[in-house]
Structure formats: structure tokens, C-alpha cells
Amino acid sequence: MLCPSVFQPSPMTMRPFMDPHWPVRSLWPETRPLFYHMEQEMIRHMQEMRQNMEFMERLHQKIFEEIDQTSSSSIGFFKPIAFQDLGQDGGSFALSLDTKEFSPEELSVKQVGQKLRVSGRTEKKQDDGKGSYSYRCQEFRQEFDLPEGVQPDTVTCSLVGGRLQIQAPRDKAVKDGKERVVPISVTSVPAITSPSSPTPGGPEGGSSSSESNTDKQ
């Protein structure tokens, strides 16, 4: 018969488990280094996010400063198209507009009834030499009232030396109200001349000029 003492552990074997001062953490893996590592990773990610946000803020500020500089540098181009009224003698209707910024293909003159509408639009691409391109757009529209006695079919246009010259003899006016595109001829000899000084704006109608700049990288 087996002795019961064989199945009973000896006191020396059970002593470590019965000792109240025996560290319980030795039974499980150490978790403190793991949480410390996770905490450090979170701090590092937060620092990277803050640095990225600061970089984006500086980038936006630089972009806005460049836009402001571009806008301020282009203020000098915002000006109405100057014109000269050269028909003060009463014998003819004559106008001269400063259109040196526009080519003949970029100008348009239309006559609708007793209204004369002059418009122009130009777009230019400029390279700053650093891989950046600037697009400059300039547009104007001016409207003039044809005086009494001017026949709309007799209105002629000529472009000479960067000036658009419009003239027509005074005759019995035909008020049919139809639209007519007035062709522009390019010549080297001015069709009308006068020592009078340019006057900004328009005599009867309105005038407007607009320009925009866009940068494309």
C-alpha cells in the first residue's frame, strides 16, 4: 500500500508560493515597457502632426504673400482706355482710342442703332525663368453714343500706331436699330489727327477695364 506522503508536496516545495512577499508579477510578463513604448509612439506622431500643420501654415502664408505682391504689382495696368473726341468741329464724328496693348484680332467694334460698342481682350503667358508661369488677362469695354446726323453705315475704323481711330461723316441718320460689325483696317497713316489731349472714360456710355493674373506652377 502506497504511503499518502508520496502524493503530498513537501513543505520546501510549496514555500515560495506560500510566502506573502514573493512577487506576483513574476508569474506574468512585464507590461510596463510595452505601455511606455506605445506612449512614446503616440507622442512622436503628435509631434509630427504639429510639425506638418506648422509647415502647411507657413506654405499658405507664403502663397498669400505672393498673391498680394502679384496683385499690387499689376495695379498700374488697371486704367480706362483713353480716347480723344476729334469731331468737335461738327463736320464729322471722330474718336481715337489708345489700344496699344491689343492686336487687331483682339479688338472688336460693333454698331447697334445709335450705339457704338468697342471691346478688347488679350491674354499673355509670361515665364519667370524659375519654372513658374504667369497668365495676364486684360479686357475693356466702352460704349459711345453716335451723335445726331451720323449715318451708322458710314462708320469706319483704322488701327495705326497702337491707336484705334473711328470716324464717320455727319449726315442724315438712319435709325434701323440693326447690329453691324465695323471692320478694322490696319494702316500706317493716321486717318484723323488732332492736338487735343486724351480723355479717360467715355462721353455718353460707360467704360470698364479689368485684368487678372494667375500663377501656374
CATH number assigned to the domain comprising residue 175: 2.60.40.790
Beta bridge partners of 212: 137
* Alpha-carbon gap, residue 68 to 61, rounded angstroms: 11
Residue 130 and residue 37 in one domain: no
Assign 127 a pLDDT band (cuts: 50, 70, 90): confident
Q: What is the pLDDT of residue 192?
A: 54
Work out the number of other CB atoms within 10 angstroms of the CB of residue 81.
Answer: 23
Residue 89 and residue 164 in one domain: yes
**Is residue 169 situated within a structural domain?**
yes
Domain with 39 in it: 25-73
17: three-class secondary structure by DSSP: helix
pLDDT tens digits, 89-125 = 566 778 888 888 888 888 998 888 888 888 888 888 7
**Is residue 114 situated within a structural domain?**
yes
Residue 55 and residue 100 in one domain: no
Residue 50 and residue 84 in one domain: no
Q: Taking 80 as the threshold, does the pLDDT of residue 85 lie above it?
A: no
Cα–Cα distance list, 100 to 37, 153, 160, 213 (Å): 71, 26, 9, 19
pLDDT over 70, % of the chain? 53
Residue 51 and residue 101 in one domain: no
Residue 184 and residue 81 in one domain: yes
Residue 116 and residue 148 in one domain: yes
Strand locations in 55-172 (E): 82-85, 92-98, 107-112, 115-127, 133-145, 156-160, 163-169
What total number of domains does the chain contain?
Answer: 2
Q: Taking 80 as the threshold, does the pLDDT of residue 133 lie above it?
A: no
Handedness of CA 22, 26, 27, 33 (dihedral sign): positive
**Is residue 9 situated within a structural domain?**
no
Residue 83 and residue 66 in one domain: no
Residue 87 and residue 120 in one domain: yes
